[in-house]
């Protein structure tokens, strides 16, 4: 864990987010699973998030990330 710095802040903020489809349906399989993983990394790149860990299960997604508070 490293302390990150900007011109106006010093921080070490990490967030654990869990996303589940409605009724926790088992839809995150095969090609959809790959698409979800790619989408999360694209969003992280667009908004300057650092994904520390990403786990896509069949019925939910765990994301552990860091971003500017």
Separation of alpha carbons 6 and 29, rounded Å: 39
Separation of alpha carbons 65 and 69, rounded Å: 12
- Domain 11-66, classified CATH 3.40.50.620, yes or no: no
Domain boundaries, the chain: 11-66
More confident residue, 9 or 38: 38
Instruction: Say if pTM beats, i.e. exceeds, 0.95.
Output: no
Q: Which of 59, 68, 51 is nearest to 17 (CA)?
A: 51
* Per-residue pLDDT band at 7 (split at 50, 70, 90): confident
């Amino acid at each position: 864990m490293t302390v990150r710095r900007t011109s106006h802040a010093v921080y070490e903020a990490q967030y654990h987010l869990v996303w589940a489809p409605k009724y926790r349906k088992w839809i995150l399989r095969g090609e959809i699973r790959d698409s979800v993983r790619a989408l999360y990394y694209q969003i992280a790149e667009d908004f300057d998030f650092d994904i520390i860990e990403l786990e896509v299960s069949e019925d939910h997604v765990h994301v552990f990330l860091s971003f500017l508070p």
